[in-house]
């Protein structure tokens, strides 16, 4: 007779999860979080460094490039003697802009073109002098008598050409949701700075459409945003009951805030004296549209928009008092950047745990 195979009955006990690999995984996650914290902390320190730190020079002085010493703002005499115009690179309602050269360095020379707008020109110069910071183009000199301003040159030009710049082979690596969100953070940082400036709460009035907004800002070679045109920056002073109006003409279109539009309907002709004034929350209304331009249509930009949906909806509240402050928008943008960087750095971590 054949012997039947003898099977030994085994008890299958619950399998224990090895504690060492789990501990290693947790340690790796903690280490990655620590490195991410250090990176973001360094990033935010650079964003939040002293507002008036503009090359660590005292007021009335400047330095740029690799130059170590600070120089005083150039006077009329120095500008006439040392600055050489190269070519006209732009012209607006107030001034003409020339690419120029000073001590073998490219600079920008702006000159008044319409004498009727000299007050706007001088106001822009006053703002430029008073607001020198990491958010504002660097002032190198000026001549009030000749209505001339000398500023630092940024070869990438205004933000209007951002998309074209990001398609240049040299800069294609910058064309990511991460870099684009950082530019939007820079933009909101400028708005926050203007709303809490050393002079008080300033409103960016040269912003009646997207193209106009973008023309007011420069893109630096290391991909940061600077405000360049400060000709129209009226002051809000609530304690004194002082609000503002951006110009004396009727403003139209969805880009400008509701309170900037004529409130009495088409049957009543526009009259500047009847137009109610408003405050800095007009700048907040425009942030989602400007940020949408920054984000573009690269991979991941829609995810960023989804995370910003609530704050952008708040920015578009019809009642200005219900809109967030620029600081609140900036805080949200930074939180979204942190969250998305964490998720990109640790994909699937939650599932692993």
Give the SS3 label for residue 325.
Answer: coil
- Helix/strand number for the chain, H first, E second: 11, 11
Instruction: Parse the chain into domains and list their residue ranges.
Output: 71-153, 154-345
Residue 321 has pLDDT above 80, yes or no: yes
Nearest-angstrom CA–CA distance, 107 and 154: 8
154-345 matches 71-153 in CATH topology:
no
Nearest-angstrom CA–CA distance, 197 and 128: 12
Q: Please state the CATH superfamily assignment of the domain spanning residues 71-153 in this structure.
A: Phosphorylase Kinase; domain 1 (3.30.200.20)
- Sequence-distant (≥ 6) Cβ neighbours of residue 45 within 8 angstroms: none
Q: Please state the CATH superfamily assignment of the domain spanning residues 154-345 in this structure.
A: Transferase(Phosphotransferase) domain 1 (1.10.510.10)
Nearest-angstrom CA–CA distance, 121 and 232: 9
Among the listed ranges 10-19, 154-163, 283-292, 319-328, which one has the minimum average pLDDT value? 10-19
CA neighbor of 337 nearest in space, from 307, 311, 316: 307
The four Cα atoms 337, 193, 57, 110 give a dihedral, to 10 degrees, of 110
**49: pLDDT confidence band, cut at 50, 70 and 90?**
very low
pTM recorded for the entire structure: 0.84
Tell me: the pLDDT tens digits for 211-239?
999 999 999 999 999 999 999 999 999 88
Residue 193 has pLDDT above 50, yes or no: yes
Cβ 244 vs Cβ 251: under 8 Å: no
Which pairs with CB-CB distance under 8 Å and at least 24 residues apart come from 153-157?
153/99, 153/105, 153/106, 153/107, 153/108, 154/218, 154/219, 154/220, 154/221, 154/226, 155/106, 155/221, 156/218, 156/219, 156/220, 156/221, 157/218, 157/219
Find the length of the chain: 353
Among the listed ranges 59-68, 140-149, 234-243, 253-262, which one has the minimum average pLDDT value? 59-68
| Secondary structure in 3-state letters for 248-265 | CCCECCCCCCHHHECCCC
Which residues make beta-bridge pairs with 41? none
């Amino acid at each position: 007779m054949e012997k039947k195979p003898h099977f030994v009955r085994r008890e299958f006990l619950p399998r224990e999860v090895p504690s060492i690999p789990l501990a290693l995984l947790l340690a790796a996650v903690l280490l990655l979080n620590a490195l991410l914290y250090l990176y973001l902390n360094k990033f935010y320190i650079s964003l939040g460094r002293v507002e008036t730190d503009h090359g660590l020079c005292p007021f009335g002085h400047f330095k740029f490039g690799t130059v170590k010493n600070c120089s005083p703002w150039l006077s009329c005499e120095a500008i006439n003697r040392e600055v050489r115009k190269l070519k006209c690179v732009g012209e607006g309602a107030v001034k003409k802009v020339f690419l120029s050269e000073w001590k073998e360095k490219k600079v920008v020379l702006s000159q008044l073109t319409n004498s009727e707008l000299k007050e706007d020109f001088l106001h822009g110069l006053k703002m430029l002098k008073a607001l020198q910071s990491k958010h504002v183009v660097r002032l190198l000199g000026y001549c009030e008598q000749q209505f001339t301003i000398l500023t630092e040159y940024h070869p990438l030009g205004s933000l209007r050409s951002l998309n074209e710049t990001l398609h240049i082979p040299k800069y294609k690596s910058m064309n990511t949701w991460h870099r684009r969100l950082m530019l939007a953070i820079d933009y909101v940082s400028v708005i926050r700075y203007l709303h809490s400036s050393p002079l008080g709460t300033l409103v960016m009035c040269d912003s009646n459409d997207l193209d106009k907004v973008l023309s007011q800002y420069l893109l630096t070679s290391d991909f940061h945003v600077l405000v360049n045109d400060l000709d129209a920056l009226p002051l809000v002073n609530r304690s004194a009951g002082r609000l503002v109006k951006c110009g004396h003409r009727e403003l139209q279109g969805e880009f400008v805030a509701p309170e900037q539009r004529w409130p009495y309907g088409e049957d009543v002709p526009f009259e500047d004296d009847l137009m109610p004034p408003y405050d800095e929350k007009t700048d907040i209304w425009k942030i989602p549209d400007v940020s949408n331009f920054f984000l573009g249509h690269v991979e991941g930009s829609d995810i960023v928009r989804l995370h910003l949906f609530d704050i952008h909806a708040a920015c578009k509240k019809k009642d200005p008092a219900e809109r967030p402050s620029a600081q609140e928008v900036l805080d949200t943008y930074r939180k979204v950047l942190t969250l998305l960087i964490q998720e990109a750095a640790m994909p699937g971590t939650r599932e692993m745990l």
